[in-house]
């Protein structure tokens, strides 16, 4: 399967500044983009590239005096297996003492995931009797999927997992933060993932195309994909970045006043 991806994002700026973006496909999928991505910046500006501690592609754009807006565009074709997310009911949980040290940051509290809160007691009271491993994570996804009502109009960039739990509403990042937090409360490493997820294999949804958020948990000596928002295996996930929560993987960050002037995302299967 071939999937066309891309974006067209424009940010207005008020003064010389720096703009950081995390919009390139994750290096783990590089082999699936033989022609590469075609990211352009208008106007052409000096840009530094690096990888962060989670091995995500990052870029810093130097915005000089006299530039009032920066437009980022990209298009690429990605090869995908066309398979839905794998399901492994036999994936087992690990005791905290047996977890690889690389997974430990993903069992601790983070900016949007308050493990050290009332959610800790709630998690053990509601999921402690569920068989550990895959079934426990799925029970958490089932709960979050039922508990939160999806509403674009109620999106809030500062909403934490605990606030989402109390308010009962949110968008995909809120579903993801709450599920991650409940998993971590149960000592299951869980990390935040942002990327492309189109309406492939499902009826088209009545929302503008956007980037999506889901999560991965460490069970049975590997990472597995879960999605509390959709709560069903999906086709065509293309990872952009991974981190502890959304704070680690912002699609863009400007040091100073800025306004979003354009935001378009493309994720379409190429029908041959």
Q: Is 159 helix (H, G, I), strand (E, B) or coil?
A: coil
Closest CA to 21 of 46, 57, 53: 57
HSE-CB at 37 with a 13 A cutoff on CA atoms is: 19
Q: Are strands 258-270 and 2-13 parallel, antiparallel or unpaired?
A: antiparallel
Q: Is the previous residue joined to 25 through a cis bond, with omega within 30 degrees of 0?
A: no
Q: What is the mean pLDDT of residues 44-65?
A: 96
pLDDT at 272 over 80: no
Residue 61: pLDDT band with limits 50, 70, 90:
very high
Q: Which architecture does CATH list for 96-248?
A: Roll (3.10)
Task: Indicate yes or no: pTM above 0.85.
Answer: yes
What pLDDT is stored for residue 17 in this prediction?
Answer: 96
Placement of tokens 């997310």 in the chain? 85
Q: Which architecture does CATH list for 2-82+251-270?
A: Sandwich (2.60)
For the chain, domain boundaries: 2-82+251-270, 96-248
Q: Are strands 47-51 and 57-63 parallel, antiparallel or unpaired?
A: antiparallel
What pLDDT is stored for residue 206 in this prediction?
Answer: 78
What pLDDT is stored for residue 271 in this prediction?
Answer: 86
The residues facing 11 across adjacent strands are 70, 260
Contact partners, residue 6, CB within 8 Å, separation at least 6: 73, 74, 75, 76, 265, 266
Q: How far apart are CA 54 and CA 162, in angstroms?
A: 25
What pLDDT is stored for residue 192 in this prediction?
Answer: 98
The CA angle 28-222-1, to the nearest 5 degrees, is 45
Output the average pLDDT for the chain.
96
First to last CA, the chain: 9
């Amino acid at each position: 399967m071939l999937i066309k991806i891309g974006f067209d994002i424009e940010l207005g700026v008020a003064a010389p500044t720096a703009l950081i973006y995390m919009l390139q496909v994750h290096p783990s999928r590089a082999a699936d983009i033989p022609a590469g991505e075609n990211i352009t910046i208008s106007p052409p500006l000096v840009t530094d590239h690096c990888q962060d501690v989670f091995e995500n592609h990052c870029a810093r754009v130097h915005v000089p005096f006299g530039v009032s807006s920066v437009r980022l565009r990209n298009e690429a074709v990605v090869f995908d297996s066309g398979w839905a997310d794998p399901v492994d009911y036999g994936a087992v949980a690990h005791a905290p003492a047996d977890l690889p040290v690389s997974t430990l940051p993903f069992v601790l509290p983070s900016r949007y995931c308050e493990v050290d809160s009332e959610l800790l007691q709630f998690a053990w009271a509601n999921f402690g009797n569920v068989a550990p491993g895959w079934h426990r994570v799925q029970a958490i996804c089932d709960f979050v999927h039922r508990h939160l009502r999806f509403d674009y109009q109620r999106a809030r960039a500062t909403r934490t997992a605990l606030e989402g739990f109390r308010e009962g509403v949110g968008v995909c990042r809120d579903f993801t933060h709450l599920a991650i937090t409940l998993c971590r409360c149960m000592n299951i490493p869980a990390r935040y993932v942002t990327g492309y997820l189109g309406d492939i294999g499902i009826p088209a949804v009545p929302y503008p195309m956007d980037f999506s958020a889901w999560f991965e948990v460490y069970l049975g000596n590997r990472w597995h994909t879960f999605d509390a928002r959709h709560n069903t295996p999906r086709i065509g996930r293309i990872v952009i970045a991974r981190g502890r929560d959304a704070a680690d993987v912002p699609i863009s960050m400007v040091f100073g006043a800025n306004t979003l002037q354009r935001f378009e995302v493309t994720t379409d299967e190429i029908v041959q």
